[in-house]
């Protein structure tokens, strides 16, 4: 079980919500804004090389039953990508932006976890850049997450951290939980937008993210062989077809936000600058994984050696590793739980699939790990989560059940069971359940 102890003990007051408006809204509306669900294939299939399924949004499968992420991995490790050429492209890009006076010349959106720590250290120590890390604070810092943030600062790196308004952030998470089936999306809005705001403010034209998730894990293929993207596709890629403005608007209709709150300047942190301004300033957002072979496990070893990164004392809830999602103490675990409920696709599925592609484990081992950990319920965080959201446990399960797919779930003797699960011989296997 995950031992990511909170850095601070926070007492959450009950959120002020217009219950009358909420009840009226509930009766009149379906209350699901996640537009990716209806676009998913009707028949569930699993990749023949890894353990991911076609229920991961935007993932494509070819005629041989292999997912797009596995096909990209074949290119990545099989010699189809000229990494020497891309390395030269990286140097040219950095030479173009490198400051002469030591001022910040590149922004790294950073949790100070393994991936962003590795990228930041490489930019500074190997390529002579002057990076500024920009952190969108997690809902509640874990002890190890906050320690890693401090360790990196003391390793000689500059950083800014944004602490969003706690009440508004909780209400946004509550709205996303109900309307998108993912409370973590409140974090994603700020995580994506805030670095662009800082780039705009300090006129730093280059932003470096870690991996291109659409290539590494399966997704939109138009950027697979490109080094960068703009916010054009964020709504589909990261926001499930309904962006920040839509969620806040619906949250107001529900009675979660009042009129004064939706006009709060703090919400500007969640909004990226208009695309016209981004283009005018010449802001470029690039993926490190385009230029360098992306191997998450190696990123951890590198960051541990060079920035003092520490792993958790034990594995993360819902998976078998202890160096992922180190910073958030509450919400991250429920993000992956909701993904499992909606898509049958949990944290272990993603990590095992990645490890299979990198050659760390076999598919057979991946199947076993998925059966063992993917369905794990984060019981130790439930009470805090309920207080954070200002909901009862019954209400919590009512929302979860709203998002269960009939393709994946059915009731047996009054308990939800999976209809279908990855196996080594067919799509049918054990039926892990969430009690």
Please report how the helices 185-202 and 166-180 are oriented relative to each other, as an axis angle in degrees rounded to 10.
130
Rounded to two decimals, the pTM is 0.91
d(CA 215, CA 183): 25
Q: How confident is the model at residue 314 (pLDDT cuts 50, 70, 90)?
A: confident
d(CA 133, CA 72): 29
Q: How confident is the model at residue 280 (pLDDT cuts 50, 70, 90)?
A: confident
Predicted pLDDT of residue 1: 43
Domain boundaries, the chain: 19-418
Q: How confident is the model at residue 428 (pLDDT cuts 50, 70, 90)?
A: very low
Q: How confident is the model at residue 430 (pLDDT cuts 50, 70, 90)?
A: very low
**Which of 40-44, 53-57, 225-229 has the lowest average pLDDT?**
225-229
Predicted pLDDT of residue 239: 53
Lookup: tokens for 158: 């500059």
| Positive/negative CA dihedral, 301, 303, 309, 315 | negative
Pairing of strands 158-162, 131-136: parallel
Whether residue 349 contacts residue 52, with contact meaning beta carbons closer than 8 Å, is answered with yes
d(CA 117, CA 108): 9
Burial class (CB in 10 A: 0-12, 13-18, 19+), 270: buried
Predicted pLDDT of residue 274: 83
Pairing of strands 415-418, 409-412: antiparallel
């Amino acid at each position: 079980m995950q031992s990511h102890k909170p850095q601070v003990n926070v007492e959450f007051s009950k959120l002020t919500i217009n219950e009358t408006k909420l009840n009226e809204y509930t009766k009149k509306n379906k209350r699901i804004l996640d537009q990716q669900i209806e676009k998913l294939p009707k028949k569930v299939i699993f990749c023949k090389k890894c353990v991911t399924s076609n229920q991961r949004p935007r993932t494509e499968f070819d005629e041989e039953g292999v997912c797009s992420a596995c096909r990209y991995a074949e290119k990545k490790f099989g010699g189809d990508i000229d990494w020497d050429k891309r390395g030269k492209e990286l140097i040219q890009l950095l030479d173009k932006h490198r400051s002469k006076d030591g001022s910040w010349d590149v922004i790294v959106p950073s949790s100070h976890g393994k991936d962003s720590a590795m990228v930041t250290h490489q930019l500074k120590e190997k390529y002579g850049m002057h990076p500024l890390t920009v952190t969108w604070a997690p809902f509640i810092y874990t002890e190890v997450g906050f320690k890693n943030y401090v360790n990196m600062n003391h390793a000689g790196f500059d950083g800014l951290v944004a602490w969003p308004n706690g009440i508004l952030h909780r209400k946004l998470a509550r709205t996303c939980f109900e309307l998108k089936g993912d409370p973590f999306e409140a974090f994603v809005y700020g995580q994506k937008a805030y670095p662009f705001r800082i780039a705009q403010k300090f006129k730093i034209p280059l932003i470096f993210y870690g991996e291109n998730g659409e290539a590494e894990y399966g997704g939109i293929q138009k950027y697979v062989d490109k080094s960068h993207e703009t916010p054009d596709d964020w709504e589909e890629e990261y926001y499930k077809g309904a962006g920040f403005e839509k969620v806040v608007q619906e949250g107001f209709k529900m009675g979660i936000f009042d009129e004064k709150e939706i006009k709060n300047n703090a919400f500007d942190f969640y909004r990226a600058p208009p695309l016209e301004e981004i283009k005018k300033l010449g802001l470029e957002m690039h993926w490190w994984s385009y230029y360098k072979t992306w191997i998450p496990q190696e990123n951890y070893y590198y960051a541990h050696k060079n920035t003092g990164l520490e792993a958790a004392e034990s594995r993360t809830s819902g998976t078998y590793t202890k160096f992922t999602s180190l910073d958030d103490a509450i919400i991250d675990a429920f993000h992956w739980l909701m993904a499992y409920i909606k898509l049958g696709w949990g944290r272990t599925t993603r990590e095992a699939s990645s490890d299979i592609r990198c050659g760390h484990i076999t598919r057979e081992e991946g199947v076993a790990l998925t059966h063992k950990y993917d369905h794990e319920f984060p019981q130790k965080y439930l009470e805090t989560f309920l207080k954070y959201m200002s909901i009862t446990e019954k209400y919590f399960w009512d929302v979860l059940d709203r998002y269960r797919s009939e393709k994946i779930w059915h009731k047996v003797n009054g308990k939800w069971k999976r209809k279908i699960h990855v196996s080594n011989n067919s799509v049918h296997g054990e039926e892990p359940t969430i009690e």
